[in-house]
C-alpha cells in the first residue's frame, strides 16, 4: 500500500507525507517584504547558512536563497508580503508566502515563566513550547509570555527578543537567546548598548521595555508580571527616539 494522509477522515490528495515528516526537523527564517526589500536581508542569509551548516553539515549559499525568494515574489505578483524560508535539508527549501503583517501598536502585558528553550541560538522548528506558554499567558489574561532562566534572569519572549531602556541606553539580556534579525539590526544601528544580566528583581529599575521581531521593530511592553510582583512601564520618548534613529540608519535591502 502507499503512504497517505487523512484530515478529519477525508484523504488529502495534495500533501506529500514525506514533506510533512520533514517539517519536524529543520530551521527557518521569517521576514516581512516591502516593495521587494527586507530589513536585514544579509543577516537572514547569514543565519540560514550558519544554521544549515550546524544542522545539516553543509552550507546554504545566499544566491540559492535569493533565487528562491525572487521566485516567491514572482509567484505572489507583489513586493509586499510575508515570507518564511524553511530549511529541511541542505538542498531543501520550502518558502511559505502569505499577506504582509503590520506592526502591532498595543503595549503588551507579559506573564513570566521559568523556561529555557532547547538549542536557543537556532531558529528551529521545535516551537511547541513557545506556543504553549503563549497560550497559557493568554488564558491567564495576559497578552503573551516572557521567559526567565532558573537563575531568575529574563531571556526572551515567546516569538520576540526583548530589550530594556535605562535613560537613552538600550539593554539586552545576556541570558542565552535566539539572536533575532531585528535585534541584530537594532544593535548594528545603535551607537552603544549594553548586554548584561537582567534579573527579575531589576525589572522596576528600567524606564521602558520593548519586544522586537520581524514584524514588530519595537513593540512597547506595558507590564511584566512575575511570581512576586507586576512591573509597569510608561511611554518613554527618549528610548523610542534612540531606537527609531538606530533603525533609520539601516535601510532595507532589495531581494
Segment 176-186, tens digit of pLDDT: 999 999 999 99
Query: Rounded to two decimals, what is the model's pTM?
Result: 0.94
Q: Domain 108-248 is classified in which CATH homologous superfamily?
A: D-amino Acid Aminotransferase, subunit A, domain 2 (3.20.10.10)
Segment 35-91, tens digit of pLDDT: 999 999 999 999 999 999 999 999 999 999 999 999 999 999 999 999 999 999 888
Q: What is the largest CA-CA distance in the chain?
A: 66
Segment 204-239, tens digit of pLDDT: 999 999 999 999 999 999 999 999 899 999 999 999
- Give me the residue label for grid cell 540608519: 249
Pairwise CA distance, residues 226 & 223, whole Å? 10
- Grid cell for residue 235: 511611554
pLDDT tier at 1, thresholds 50, 70, 90: low
CATH 3.30.470.10 fits 13-98, yes or no: yes
Residues carrying CATH 3.20.10.10, the chain: 108-248
Cα end-to-end span (Å), the chain: 44
Q: What is the mean pLDDT of the chain?
A: 95
Residues carrying CATH 3.30.470.10, the chain: 13-98
Amino acid at each position: 500500500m502507499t503512504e497517505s494522509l487523512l484530515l478529519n477522515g477525508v484523504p488529502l490528495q495534495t500533501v506529500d507525507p514525506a514533506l510533512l515528516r520533514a517539517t519536524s526537523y529543520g530551521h527557518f527564517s521569517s521576514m516581512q517584504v516591502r516593495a521587494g526589500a527586507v530589513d536585514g536581508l544579509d543577516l537572514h542569509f547569514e543565519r540560514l547558512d550558519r544554521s544549515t551548516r550546524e544542522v545539516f553539515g553543509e552550507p546554504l549559499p545566499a544566491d540559492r536563497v535569493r533565487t528562491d525568494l525572487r521566485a516567491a515574489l514572482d509567484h505572489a505578483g507583489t513586493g509586499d508580503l510575508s515570507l518564511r524560508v524553511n530549511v529541511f535539508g541542505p538542498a531543501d527549501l520550502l518558502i511559505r508566502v502569505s499577506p504582509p503583517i503590520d506592526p502591532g501598536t498595543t503595549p503588551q502585558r507579559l506573564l513570566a515563566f521559568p523556561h529555557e528553550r532547547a538549542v536557543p541560538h537556532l531558529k528551529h522548528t521545535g516551537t511547541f513550547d513557545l506556543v504553549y506558554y503563549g497560550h497559557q499567558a493568554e488564558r491567564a489574561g495576559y497578552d503573551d509570555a516572557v521567559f526567565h532562566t532558573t537563575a531568575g534572569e529574563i531571556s526572551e519572549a515567546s516569538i520576540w527578543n526583548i530589550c530594556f531602556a535605562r535613560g537613552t541606553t538600550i539593554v539586552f539580556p545576556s541570558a542565552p537567546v535566539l539572536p533575532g534579525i531585528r535585534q541584530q539590526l537594532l544593535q548594528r544601528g545603535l551607537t552603544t548598548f549594553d548586554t548584561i544580566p537582567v534579573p527579575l528583581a531589576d525589572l522596576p529599575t528600567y524606564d521602558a521595555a520593548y519586544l522586537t521581531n520581524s514584524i514588530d521593530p519595537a513593540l512597547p511592553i506595558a507590564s511584566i508580571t512575575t511570581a512576586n510582583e507586576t512591573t509597569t512601564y510608561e511611554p518613554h520618548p527618549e528610548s523610542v527616539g534612540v531606537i527609531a534613529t538606530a533603525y533609520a540608519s539601516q535601510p532595507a535591502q532589495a531581494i
